Amino acid sequence: MGNDSLLQIHSLKAVDSTQRYLLDALKSGTLDTPICVVTERQESGKGSRGNRWSGLEGNLFFSFAIAREDLPSDLKLESSSIYFTYLLKQALEAVGSKVWLKWPNDFYLDEIKIGGAITNLYKETLVCGIGLNTKHAPEGFSKLDIDIENNILLKHYFEILNNPPKWKQVFSQYQIEFDKSRSYFTHSGDQRLSLENAHLLDDGSIECDGQRIFSLR
């Protein structure tokens, strides 16, 4: 995107889903890339496999859109969820967090989930939505282990995305972290599959129980 092309931030007080809002705005031409939509309260956020993601006010809810041509040439579509979440993990790590990334796109502290991401493709634009418990922990979840304002965290994150590293560089680091996921499960359709013996492929997909499973969602 270049040194002077940081994503513009479109702030809302409340919305049902930042990703739905952003996709609708891109389709209608109201907003254009590169753009981020952030809200103080998300009333109908979407989690993994269509589950609802609790939107306690004060936590971080945002979606951003970047044209594929502004991302590294070696970044495949199926690698994008891991890529975007791992870069945010790195931004958090740089300010002292011990957050880690469970395959493919869930943020964890120790053994408890604190956030996640969903990535969609609209024409030649990638739209990534992220929810992260920065201030409050809904029942059954945890929250970030450091005190940082949401706008400061977004600034750090978008500075990385402004000069995005190659997928190969990110993947070489994520390969090491993937071992932390081996005591967990993933889903393929209605199947619940153990990651214990999963083989991580170089596009971020995995081979698990004879199936190849991709991370884009």
What would the pLDDT profile of 175-198 be if each residue is shown by its tens digit? 999 999 999 988 877 888 899 999
Q: Looking at the domain assignment, is residue 216 inside a domain?
A: no
CATH number at residue 78: 3.30.930.10
pLDDT number for residue 191 = 82
Q: Looking at the domain assignment, is residue 38 inside a domain?
A: yes
Q: Looking at the domain assignment, is residue 202 inside a domain?
A: no
Q: Looking at the domain assignment, is residue 102 inside a domain?
A: yes
pLDDT number for residue 30 = 96
- Tokens 């739209």 found at: 127
Q: At what angle do helices 80-94 and 150-162 cross, to 10 degrees?
A: 120
Q: Which residues contact 91 (CB under 8 A, 6 or more apart)?
A: 153, 156, 157, 160
Q: Looking at the domain assignment, is residue 214 inside a domain?
A: no
Closest CA to 129 of 214, 27, 20: 20
pLDDT above 70 (res 128): yes
Give residue-wise pLDDT tens across range 58-112. Answer: 999 999 999 999 999 999 998 999 999 999 999 999 999 999 999 989 999 999 9
215: pLDDT confidence band, cut at 50, 70 and 90? low
Closest CA to 198 of 173, 217, 180, 171: 180
pLDDT number for residue 110 = 95
Percent of the chain predicted with pLDDT > 70:
91
Split into its structural domains, the chain has a count of 1
Q: Looking at the domain assignment, is residue 120 inside a domain?
A: yes
- Whole-model pTM over 0.85: yes
Q: Looking at the domain assignment, is residue 205 inside a domain?
A: no
Percent of the chain predicted with pLDDT > 90:
77
Cis upstream peptide for 34 (omega within 30°): yes
Task: Give the number of other Cβ atoms within 10 Å of residue 202's Cβ.
Answer: 12
- Lowest pLDDT segment from 49-53, 61-65, 71-75, 113-117: 49-53
Task: Give burial (CB, 10 Å; 0-12/13-18/19+) of 183.
Answer: exposed
| Boundaries of domain holding 122 | 8-178
Cα–Cα distance for residue pair 165/141, rounded to 1 Å: 31
pLDDT number for residue 102 = 94
Average pLDDT along the chain: 90
Q: What is the largest CA-CA distance in the chain?
A: 46
Q: Looking at the domain assignment, is residue 64 inside a domain?
A: yes
